[in-house]
Amino acid sequence: MTSTPASAPRLLAPLGGRRAWAIWTAAVAVYVLAVFHRTSLGVAGIMAAERFGISSSQLATFAMVQLLVYAAMQVPVGAALDQYGSRILLAAGALTMTAGQAAFAFAHTFAAGLGARVLVGMGDAMIFVCVLRIAALWFPPMRAPLVTQITGFAGQIGALLAAGPLAAALHSVGWETTYLVAAGLGIVLGLVMWFVVVDSPNLDEERDAVRLRAVTRALGEVWREPGTKLGLWSHFTSQFAMNVFVLLWGFPFLTKGQGLSEATASTLLSLMVATIIVASPMLGMFTARRPHRRSVAVMVLIGAAITLWTVVLVWPGRAPLWLLVLLCIVVALGGPGSMVGFDMARSFNAPTRLGSANGIVNVGGYVASVTCIVGIGIVLDHVAPGGPATYDVDSFRAAMSVQYLVWAFGLAMMWHYRRRTHDVVLTDDAYTHLRAGVPRKRRERD
């Protein structure tokens, strides 16, 4: 009889088994709700401008504050995740989002609406990194890239619900009822998650009471890894164009700028979600098999987005529908592309620091999104001072050009840290670990 090695971990359930999928599904359900709350303003932007009587810059401020809070909380949330685990933070996030959406339902002033979006951003910030940690701990290392991509596209079901049912509900049952029902879903899913989710399969795992000094040291170790920074800048550069389009400016761009009906615009936003669902597992399988080509794949997707936006913006007058369809498909690919950033960070950090690493990476895309969303709002206020009623194709041609500044900066940083990470991979046994899908072992510093 073969004895079990002393070093073998004692597991609550097999990695990647039915128990793992049940826990992951419960956590992902909360993530779907988070994406729904996050993108709910995208289809309600013009209605919100009328409800609150605000300008383009003020409308952009709603999204800016929500994303800024999200980004600012990623590092502390990552540190808290490593200490307290996914279950507690998922519950806290669900309750906070519920409070935010309920407050937004009754808000009638710009200040009240802004406070509600702060709560939504705070709750949203706690969700995604928790689900990623569950995927990393409950599934074998070689399957982690694929499960990470599946997590990303599963969450986009929330965007699909916002693009279709939410838009219809706003016109049929009104603002307050729509947002109150959306808030109530958080209570239901939060209860389901609480009774199903288990933080880790490892029965021998010791939960250290992490002190502030230890947290700071851990964050420093994670930040010093070039792979973490490459993941951050990959996320920064590939995700923001999709966020800008889905979270706020895509719907006005398609309806006011390109003259499409609201139904057609909603269909194109749904097409973006479908693209993410189809492309995510394909990209996940590619990165699992070709980990040394991950940054190249991300750069190719970014280049495609830049190319399509350039064609649309230089097109004389309004772009034809077939070109807008291509634009939405290519821009949507930035979502799966940004998920590769988390896989990069996973390859270079220990499992006990995944929360901190994912939190750092997740800051990237949302900082870029905030910057671009606000920049577009400022330009729109300048070229179309009359507000949404005066938006046209030329005003959006000027405003959407803000994206090129963000792309240029992000690509430069990606290239820099790609070279740094390449140097690390060529040292020690890092390449072997990368091929095996497990974090490399760091050399102890003197």
Full set of structural domains in the chain with CATH:
18-201+211-436 (1.20.1250.20)
**Residue 73 main-chain phi, psi, to 5 deg:** -90, -10
Query: Which tokens belong to 184?
Result: 């109530």
> Do 328 and 269 contact (CB within 8 A), yes or no?
yes
Rounded Cα distance, 289 and 145, in Å: 10
Residue with tokens 């890894």: 225
For 272-284, what is each residue's pLDDT tens digit?
Answer: 888 888 887 788 7
Burial state string for 106-131 with b = 16 or more CB within 10 A and e = fewer than 16: ebeebeebbebbbbbbbbbbbbbbbb
Angle at 239 between CA 233 and CA 244, to 5 degrees: 130
Name beta bridge partners: 11: 202
Query: Which tokens belong to 130?
Result: 């928790």
pLDDT computed for residue 443 by the predictor: 43
- 81's enclosing H/E stretch is helix 56-84
DSSP code of residue 202: B
Rounded Cα distance, 58 and 54, in Å: 6
Number of C-beta neighbours around residue 55 at 10 A: 18
Query: Which tokens belong to 284?
Result: 């996940």
pLDDT computed for residue 351 by the predictor: 66
For 300-335, what is each residue's pLDDT tens digit?
Answer: 999 999 999 999 999 998 999 999 999 999 999 988
Query: Which tokens belong to 132?
Result: 């990623």
> Do 363 and 73 contact (CB within 8 A), yes or no?
no
pLDDT computed for residue 160 by the predictor: 72
DSSP per-residue letters across 221-264: HHHH-HHHHHHHHHHHHHHHHHHHIIIIIHHHIIIIIT---HHH
- The set of residues, in sequence order, having a beta carbon less than 8 Å from that of 339 and lying 6+ positions away, is 148, 149, 151, 152, 280, 283, 284
Q: Is 85 left (phi over 0), alpha (psi -120 to 50) or beta?
A: left
Encoded amino acid at 253, one letter: F
For 166-217, what is each residue's pLDDT tens digit?
Answer: 777 887 888 888 888 888 888 888 888 888 888 877 765 544 333 334 444 5
> Do 359 and 75 contact (CB within 8 A), yes or no?
yes
Q: Consecutive sets of 10 residues in the chain, 446 residues long: mean pLDDT of each?
A: 50 79 90 85 77 81 82 79 84 91 89 90 88 82 71 74 76 85 87 85 52 50 77 89 86 90 87 84 76 82 95 93 95 87 76 69 80 88 82 90 94 86 59 48 41
C-alpha count within 13 angstroms, C-beta hemisphere, residue 236: 25
Rounded Cα distance, 114 and 49, in Å: 13
Query: Which tokens belong to 245?
Result: 């389009």
> Do 433 and 439 contact (CB within 8 A), yes or no?
yes
Rounded Cα distance, 183 and 96, in Å: 10
Rounded Cα distance, 421 and 226, in Å: 5
Encoded amino acid at 274, one letter: A
Query: Which tokens belong to 340?
Result: 């590769």
Name beta bridge partners: 202: 11
